[in-house]
């Protein structure tokens, strides 16, 4: 077939490679949707207060959230440690405060694991502290609360009223807060 030109047929465009469709996400039927669960749904018979629990100490207003709102992983630690409990329940506990007192500064230093009194100037510890805390140790609302004089009988009254406010039964063994942290109601 010399001298003749064979008619060229255009090649068919290659069909796009078929990729396997992503498998449809098969969700098992959910028994409890924790993402949608509200506290009112969890405790339908509990008439929760609409207003927060607040108290006044040395002229400072504080607010404590419902202890049932604490993360479950902290429950046993909070029950055993009143300071950790207050820090967790105190609204804005880690917010810096203005014009801290010496006692509040000491509390802040202890809270972050430093001795209450500053290290000697130019010592290795002072240099390390400066490297770790270039802006200084922040003094927060929890430090103000912790530095306040609070007799035990007033702390007991605070805890009792806090339990009553959030409708948490407090038994004679003082297990109310544990039951609340574990989500039990009376």
Domain residue limits at 93: 53-181
Strand partners, 61: 56
Structural domain includes residue 92: yes
d(CA 178, CA 184): 8
CA max distance for the chain: 115
- Which letter does DSSP use for residue 64 in this model? E
Q: What was the pLDDT predicted at 6?
A: 47
d(CA 92, CA 175): 26
What does pLDDT average to over the chain?
A: 84
With beta carbons less than 8 A apart as the criterion, state whether 63 and 176 touch. no
Please state the φ and ψ torsions of residue 98, each to the nearest 5 degrees: -100, 150
Q: For residue 50, give both structure tokens.
A: 């609409």
Strand partners, 129: none
Structural domain includes residue 71: yes
Q: CA 162, 109, 116 angle in degrees (round to 5)?
A: 105
d(CA 129, CA 108): 13
**How many domains does the chain contain in total?**
1
**What are the pLDDT digits (tens) for 36-53?**
999 889 889 888 898 999
Q: How confident is the model at residue 13 (pLDDT cuts 50, 70, 90)?
A: low
d(CA 109, CA 98): 16
pTM above 0.75, yes or no: no
Structural domain includes residue 17: no
Structural domain includes residue 133: yes
Structural domain includes residue 19: no
Residue closest to 85 by CA, chosen among 103, 66, 98: 66
**What are the pLDDT digits (tens) for 103-116?**
999 999 999 999 99
**What are the pLDDT digits (tens) for 119-140?**
999 999 999 999 999 999 999 9
Structural domain includes residue 48: no
Residue owning tokens 């014009």: 99
With beta carbons less than 8 A apart as the criterion, state whether 82 and 88 touch. no
Q: For residue 35, give both structure tokens.
A: 């993402």
Structural domain includes residue 135: yes
Q: For residue 185, give both structure tokens.
A: 């109601």
């Amino acid at each position: 077939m010399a001298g003749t030109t064979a008619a060229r047929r255009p090649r068919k465009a290659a069909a796009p490679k078929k990729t396997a469709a992503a498998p449809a996400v098969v969700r098992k039927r959910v028994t409890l949707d924790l993402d949608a669960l509200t506290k009112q749904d969890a405790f339908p018979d509990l008439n929760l207060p609409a207003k927060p629990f607040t108290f006044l100490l040395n002229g400072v207003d504080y607010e404590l959230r419902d202890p049932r709102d604490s993360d479950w992983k902290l429950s046993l630690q909070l029950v055993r440690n009143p300071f950790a409990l207050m820090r967790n329940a105190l609204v804005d506990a880690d917010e810096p405060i203005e014009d801290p007192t010496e006692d509040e500064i000491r509390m802040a230093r202890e809270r972050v694991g430093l001795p209450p009194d500053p290290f000697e100037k130019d010592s290795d510890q002072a240099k390390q502290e400066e490297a770790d805390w270039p802006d200084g140790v922040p003094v927060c609302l929890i430090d103000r609360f912790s530095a306040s004089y609070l007799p035990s009988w007033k702390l007991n009254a605070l805890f009792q009223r806090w339990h009553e406010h959030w409708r948490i039964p407090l038994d004679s063994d003082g297990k109310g807060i544990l039951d609340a942290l574990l989500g039990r109601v009376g």
